[in-house]
Amino acid sequence: MKKSNAIPTMKDVASEAGVSLGTVSKVVNGLPVGEIYKTKVEEAIRKLNYHVNSYAQGLKAGKTGTIALLIPNLWDPFFSVLTHHINRALQARQYRMLLCTTDFNAAQEQEYVTMLQNNKVDGIIGLTCNPALAVPESIPFVSIDRSMGSGIPCVACDNFMGGQLAAEKLADLGCRRVAFLRTGSSLANEPNKRKAGFENGCLSRKLKYEMLILGDEESYDKFDAFLTEHKIDGKLSFDGIFCVTDKIARYVINVLKKMNIRVPEDVQVIGFDGIRQLGDFDYLCSTIVQPVQEMAQLCVDLLLQEASPARPQLYCLPVSYVCGGTTREIT
């Protein structure tokens, strides 16, 4: 007599079906087995409501069918939407996803990596900020938005092109004098290239521009001050603003409203990221849209693909411009 409440194991199935352990294993794994045995085993499985223990499986195989995602948080729409697409791409390939939020904490990032290190996960996708993050060779890693060198592929949108596109659009839309606003320049990551792209675009279109780059510790208040300084006789001395994120764009738009400056009539604003209101409503502003879904898919593909001999260190996916009401429509 067995304990009736215990979780059924393969052994239980074997004795229930009157066959041996190996036979059950073969049935479960779809290996060739005599038809008569197969049905007997399947019946026993159903009867006992048996499910394989994937931890025991993982122990044996050295693979767990689980990958981990390192991401700062999930309240920022960019991160949560990215996480969503990565999760679904993983699901489609029958992988489970372990979620690790790091809150931009370098120490915690490292802690996670070491925790996941050995054979707990089959791979890691990480959007991290720790410049010295030590990733063991033994575990496949794909980085988002940050080049980590040493054979770790990095997936990002084409940030340089995005910056350039913003400048070009502003020029096309009739701007003559524009501003560039950004924060967080201290991190050496791909989004930094938006600045260079923007400058490049301004130069090629002969657009005059001014830049305000906030340090890590400075608050958005500096943007208020900057804009106020540039308001002369009730008019802003810019007719276009490129903000390095939609978040800054939204903030700036609010400030402008308080200053009685109309958007887009007096000044046109372009952001970056392509965040939508409530996930699937309108864009928050005219913006450079990151192909989030494609980026997610690529991360998963790179992580799960057989390591090909030589592959690029950096994958830049194309961005696009959309009008979200804070620029004039292109006619």
Token couple for 277: 């209101």
Q: Give residue 198's identity as a one-letter amino acid code.
A: F
Among 37, 48, 58, 231, binds a second copy (CB under 8 A): 58
- Please return the burial class of 265, using the count of CB atoms within 10 Å of its CB with bins 0-12, 13-18 and 19+: exposed
- DSSP type of residue 119: T
Binding mask 236-275 for DNA (x = CB under 7 A): ----------------------------------------
Q: Give residue 8's identity as a one-letter amino acid code.
A: P
By the 8 A CB rule, do 311 and 283 touch? Answer: no
- For the bound state, the minimum distance from the C-beta of residue 277 to DNA, rounded and expressed in Å, comes to 46
When CB distances are held under 5 to 8 angstroms depending on the partner's kind, the choice from DNA, a second copy, none that residue 20 binds is: DNA
Work out whether 2 is an interface residue with DNA (CB under 7 A): no
Work out whether 55 is an interface residue with a second copy (CB under 8 A): yes
**Other CB atoms within 10 A of residue 150 CB:** 9
- Tell me the H-state helices in 134-175: 159-172
Among 125, 256, 270, 284, binds a second copy (CB under 8 A): 284
Interface segment toward DNA; rule CB under 7 A; list 19-27, 133-141, 260-268, 293-301? 19-27
Site for DNA in 47-76 (CB under 7 A): 51-53, 56-57, 59-62
User: In angstroms, rounded to a whole number, what is the distance separating the alpha carbons of residues 40 and 50?
Assistant: 14
φ, ψ of residue 153 to 5 degrees: the values are: -70, 145
Residues near a second copy (CB under 8 A), total? 47
The residue behind tokens 């410049």 is: 131
By the 8 A CB rule, do 196 and 160 touch? Answer: yes
Interface segment toward a second copy; rule CB under 8 A; list 176-184, 225-233, 277-285, 313-321? 277-285
Helix (H, G, I), strand (E, B) or coil at 243: strand
When CB distances are held under 5 to 8 angstroms depending on the partner's kind, the choice from a second copy, DNA, none that residue 279 binds is: a second copy
The DSSP code sequence of 165-228 is HHHHHHHHTT-SEEEEEE--TTS-SGGGHHHHHHHHHHHHTT-EEEEEE--TT--THHHHHHHH
**Other CB atoms within 10 A of residue 187 CB:** 16
Work out whether 29 is an interface residue with a second copy (CB under 8 A): no
Binding mask 30-49 for DNA (x = CB under 7 A): --xxx-xx------------
Site for a second copy in 241-260 (CB under 8 A): 246-247, 250-251
- For the bound state, the minimum distance from the C-beta of residue 125 to a second copy, rounded and expressed in Å, comes to 13
Give the interface with a second copy as residue ranges (CB under 8 A).
Answer: 7, 51-56, 58-59, 64, 66, 73-77, 80-81, 83-84, 87-88, 91, 96-101, 114-115, 117-120, 138, 246-247, 250-251, 275, 277-281, 284
Give the interface with DNA as residue ranges (CB under 7 A).
Answer: 6-7, 9-11, 19-23, 25-26, 28-29, 32-34, 36-37, 51-53, 56-57, 59-62
